[in-house]
Amino acid sequence: MVAIRYRVRAEELRAQGGALMPVTTKAKMEFVYAMARHSKATLHDCQRLMRYAATLQRIAEAHCNDSKCPYGPHLPDGGCMKQESIQWKVGEICERIDGVLDAIFSNDPRGAVVKLKVADGYTNDMGREGICVPA
Ligand SMILES: [Zn+2]
């Protein structure tokens, strides 16, 4: 029942051109697995990164659709303070994790909004930039 309701909701969202794909448990598990294999990230680090990525995804969708972004004030370049502060927090987490070199941010909601560049060079995105954080 829950699965069916969830699928219907996801289809509604897609029909509206809103949220793209729902994040599956599989995608989350694959992210945690990749991070465990290619860095010294803890489960807690991964959970925080996914949570921040989800917020960045929501903000990017709001900015992209010109719909109301709940966070203000907005900067002249179209970004917002909330977005900047979350990106800063993600950067801070990444600095602490051994094996993670950098966080790459994209404000395009169609792709991964956060990718992590790891020291061993592993990537799982089309652009070969890093590990995508599911959002
Ligand atoms: Zn905003």
Residue ranges covered by each domain of the chain = 24-132
Q: Is the dihedral of CA 80, 76, 17, 126 positive or negative?
A: negative
Checking if the pLDDT of 116 tops 50, the result is: yes
Q: What is the pLDDT of residue 105?
A: 97
Q: How much distance in Å is there from the Cα of 79 to the middle of ligand 1?
A: 6
Residue owning tokens 């987490």:
93
Phi, psi of 31 (to 5 degrees): -65, -50
From the CA of 75, how far away is ligand 1's center (Å)? 8
31-82: per-residue pLDDT in tens? 999 999 999 999 999 999 999 999 999 999 999 887 778 887 888 877 899 9
Percent of the chain with pLDDT over 90: 70
Ligand 1 geometric centre to CA of 52 (Å): 15
Q: Quote the ligand 1 centre to 117 CA distance (angstroms).
A: 26
Tokens of 49: 């990164």
State the distance from the centre of ligand 1 to the C-alpha of 109, rounded, in angstroms: 13
DSSP state letters, 31-82:
HHHHHHHHS---HHHHHHHHHHHHHHHHHHHHHHTTPPPSS-PBPTTS-BHH
| Percent share of the chain, pLDDT over 70 | 84
pTM for the predicted model, two decimal places? 0.82
Lowest mean pLDDT among 10-19, 52-61, 112-121, 123-132: 10-19
2 or 118: which carries more pLDDT confidence?
118
Tokens in use for 83?
């977005």
pLDDT of residue 78: 77
Distance 132 CA to ligand 1 centre (A): 22
99 Cα: distance to centroid of ligand 1 (angstroms)? 31
Q: Considering the chain, what is the average pLDDT of its residues?
A: 87
Q: How confident is residue 20, by pLDDT bands cut at 50, 70 and 90?
A: low
Q: What is the pLDDT of residue 23?
A: 85
Tell me, in angstroms, the distance from the centre of ligand 1 to residue 83's CA: 7
Task: Mark the residues whose beta carbon lies below 5 A from ion ligand 1.
Answer: 69, 71, 80
Mean pLDDT of 107-133: 96
Give the distance (Å) from ligand 1 centre to CA of residue 33.
Answer: 32
